[in-house]
Amino acid sequence: MARFRFYPQQSFFDFFRTPLSLRVEERGDFYVPLLTITLLMILFFTGITGRGLWTPDEPRVAEIGREMALSGNYAIPTLDKKAFLEKPPLYFASVALAYKLTGGASAYGARIPNAVFGFLTALLVLYWATKVFSPLSGFFASLILSTTVLFYQMSHWGIVDVALTFFITVSLFGFWEGITRNEKYFYLFYVGIILAFYSKGLIGMAVPGITVLTYLGITRNLKTLLKMKLVQGTILFFLCLSPWIIALYHYGGTEYLKIFFIVNHFNRFFAHKGRGHIRPFYYYFYNLPFLFIPWSFFAPIVAITMYKRREWVKNRAFLLFLCWAGFTFVLLTLSSTKRTIYVLPLFPPLALFFAHSFTQWEKVMFSKKIQRYLFSLAIVICITEIAILSMPVYILKHILASIIFLVPFSFFFYITWCQIKQRRPIGTLVSFILLMVALLSAIPFCLYPSLDKYKNYKPYIEKLMGSVPKDSTVSLYKPNETMCALFPFYLDIYPADIENPSNAKKFLGLDSHSILAVFDRKGHLQEELKHVGLSPEEKVVIYKKRCLLLYTYSGVSGKITYKRSQRGFLNQNRSILLIDKKEKNVLKGNLIRTRVNLLKQTFFPRPGISSSKGRARTCF
C-alpha cells in the first residue's frame, strides 16, 4: 500500500496541496480522488428517501415517469393521460427505469436519476479540472459544485435541469478534448448536444453550440470548425432526433410540433401571451449571488486573484469556462421566463475557475484583511449550522441527532479557525469544504422532516379522500399540474378537469356519487363556486391559505347540508372549520354553545337517536 512522506513541519492539510509539496510513493495520488468520491457519494446519495413528493415540480415529474412506465410509450410524455410537451422524454424515461429497478413508483425512485446525474457531473468536473489544472483543482472544483446549496438541493429534487447540466458539461468536455487531444472526441461533443436536447429542448443545443463559437471567435481560431466533423455531426444529430420528431407528428400531427417548438420554446423565450415565469431582465443579477452560496462570498477574492494573474490570457481552458459561464448568463438574462433552477448550467464553469483561483492563493498575498474576511465567513457558516442542527431539538425532540452532527461540525470549525490563524490558504479552503459537507449532510436529517410537513401533500390528499366511496366519480376544478399529478400518483385515479363554475354545478347535480375536488391557494376558487350556490363539504387546510376542498351532491341545493366528517378533518383546537357564510349569520348569537353541542352530537351520540349519517350539521 502506498505511504505518504511529508516534508518536516507540514500539517495534515498539506496532503491536499499539489504534488510539488507532497511526495507520494507509487500510487499515492489515488487517495485524493478516493476521498473526493467518498465525500461526493455522501452528499448525493443521502437524503433522497424518507419524504414525499415536494411541490411544485416533483409530483409532475414523478407522475409522468409512472405513466410512462405503465404505458410503455417512451416517446410522448403524458400527465393525467394527456400529452405533456413542455419537455422531451429523456429524463422521464430515466425516472420510469428507476421505478422498474426499485420495484414500483415511489418518491425516492423519482429522485434517483437526479442524484446520479448530479454525481456524474461532479465526477466529470473532478476529472476535467485535474487534467487541465491540477489534482488540487479537481478536488476543489467537484466539491465546490456539490456543496453549492442550489446544486445540492436540486440533486435531491426530481427536476430536469440537473440532467441538462450534465449533458452540457459532457458536450463541452468533448469539444475541449477534441481540440487538445484527439479529433474523435468531437463525436462526444455532438452526443452531448443530442442528449442535452432530449433533456430539456433547444437550450441543450444553444448553450454548447454558441459557447464553442464564442470561444473560437475570441481565440481567432475559426478554422477549427473545419476539423470538427460538422457534416458527420449534423447527420448524427438528425438521425437521432428524427425518430422522436416523427413520433410527435404521428401522435399529434403538426399541433404537437407547434406546441413543443413554438409554444414551449419561442413563446416562453419572448414572453408571448404571458407564458411561463415572467421576470425582469435584471432578475439573475441580484439572484445569482444568493444561488451560488456559500462560494459567492469568495467572489471578490477570486476576481482579484484572476485579475492579477490574467488567467484568461495564460490558460485557454480558463477562457473556455469563462465563455461558457458568460454566454449562459447572457442567454438566461435575455429570456423572458426566469426561474432560479434555470441557472444550474452556470455552476460547473463557475466551480472550475473558482477552484483554479483557489489554488493560486499561495501566490497572492494572504493579507490580514482577507484573513478577517474568511474568519467572519466561518462564523456565518457556524451560526447557520447551529441553527439547522438545533431544529430537531425544538421540532422533532431528537437531541441525540443534533449532538451527533454537532460534534464533527465543531471539529471542522476548530480546524478552520486554526488554519486561518496560521494563514494557510489551502488548509483554510479544505476546512471550509469539510465544514460545508458536514452542514449539508445534516440537512436531510434535521431540516427535511420539518419541511416535509409543508411541501408534501400526500397526507392531506389521503385524508380528504378517505371518506369518498370507491364508486364515486371524482373531478378536479381548475387543477394545476401538481393536482393533476398527485391524485393519479397516490390514489391511482384520473379525475376529469372542470374549468367553469356552472359546469361544476351541473356535474355535482348528476347523481349522489359525483365529487368535486378543489385545490385552493388563496380562496379565489371557493368564492367562484359560492356564486353558483356551491359550498364545500370537507375542507383540509394545508398551509396558511392553501386548502383542499371537497364538494358533493348534497351541496347543490340552496340549503347547505353536511355529512359526518372523520376526526382527521378537525383542526388542532378540535373545532370544525367554517365553510358557509349564511350559517355563520344564523348562529352568531350563540356560537360557543352551538359548537359544544355539535361536538357532542357528532362524536358522542345519545342513545335512542338515529345515526348522524346524512344528518344536517353546521361546521365551525
Same domain as 569, residue 501: yes
The C-alpha cell of 570 is what?
Answer: 378537525
d(C-alpha 352, C-alpha 346), whole Å = 11
The amino acid occupying position 405 is F
Integer-rounded Cα Rg, in Å, for the chain is 29
pLDDT of residue 204: 93
Within the chain, which residues score under 50 in pLDDT?
A: 1-28, 393-397, 556-620
Rounded to whole angstroms, how far apart are CA atoms 158 and 543? 22
In a domain, 88, yes or no: yes
Q: Identify the H or E element spanning 441.
A: helix 425-446
70 φ, ψ to 5°? -75, -40
Q: 459: part of which helix (H) or strand (E)? A: helix 458-464
| DSSP three-state, residue 561 | coil
3-state SS class at 163: helix
- Find the helix packing angle between 283-291 and 316-334, rounded to 10°: 130
Assess if residue 609 is contained within a domain. no
Whether 404 and 534 share a structural domain: no
396 domain-assigned: yes
Q: Provide the domain count of the chain.
A: 3
Contact by Cβ (8 Å): 66, 105: yes
Query: Three-state DSSP class for 406?
Result: helix
* Strand, coil or helix: 278: strand
CA distance 178 to 189: 8
Closest CA to 536 of 512, 556, 514, 509: 556
C-alpha cell read off for 102 = 426499485
74 in any annotated domain: yes
Taking the C-alpha atoms of residue 600 and residue 606, their distance in angstroms, rounded to an integer, is: 9
Residue 444 sits in the same domain as residue 506: no
Short-list 408, 517, 383, CA closest to 463: 517
Q: Examine the domain organization and report whether 386 and 260 are in the same domain.
A: no
If asked whether residues 160 and 179 sit together in one domain, one would say: yes
- Closest among 35, 113, 19, 120 to 69, alpha carbons compared: 113
Q: What is the DSSP letter of 609?
A: S
Which cell numbers in the block locate residue 416? 478552520
My answer on whether omega of the bond before 19 falls inside 30° of 0, hence cis, is: no
Structural domain range at position 560: 458-603
Which of 137, 202, 216 has the alpha carbon at shortest distance from 164?
202
- What per-residue confidence (pLDDT) applies to 210? 92
Question: What is the H or E stretch that residue 542 is in?
Answer: strand 538-543
65 located within any domain:
yes
Of the candidates 329, 346, 364, which is a domain's last residue? 364
Whether residues 239 and 207 fall in one domain: yes
The domain boundary residue, chosen from 400, 426, 456: 456
Q: Are residues 73 and 191 in the same domain?
A: yes
Q: Residue 19 and residue 23: Cα distance in Å, rounded?
A: 7
Q: Answer whether 551's CB lies under 8 Å from 529's CB.
A: yes
User: Of 326, 346, 364, which residue sits at a domain end?
Assistant: 364
Amino acid letter, residue 95: V
Neighbours of 380 (CB within 10 A): 12
Of 71, 110, 68, nearest in space to 93 by CA: 68
The candidate with the shortest Cα–Cα distance to 297, out of 448, 144, 414, is 144
Q: Are residues 382 and 347 in the same domain?
A: no
Domain membership flag for residue 192: yes
Same domain for 237 and 147?
A: yes
* Domain-located, residue 551: yes
Do 249 and 304 belong to one domain?
Answer: yes
pLDDT of residue 47: 83
Say how far apart CA 309 and CA 312 lie, in whole Å.
9
584 and 472 in a common domain: yes
Hunting for cell 401533500 — which residue is that? Answer: 457
Q: How far apart are CA 604 and CA 617, in angstroms?
A: 14
Find where cell 364538494 sits: 551
Q: How far from each other are the two terminal CA atoms of the chain, in whole angstroms?
A: 73
Same domain, 315 and 370: no
Handedness of CA 48, 53, 54, 55 (dihedral sign): positive
Residue 143 lies in a domain: yes
548 neighbors 542 (Cβ within 8 angstroms): yes
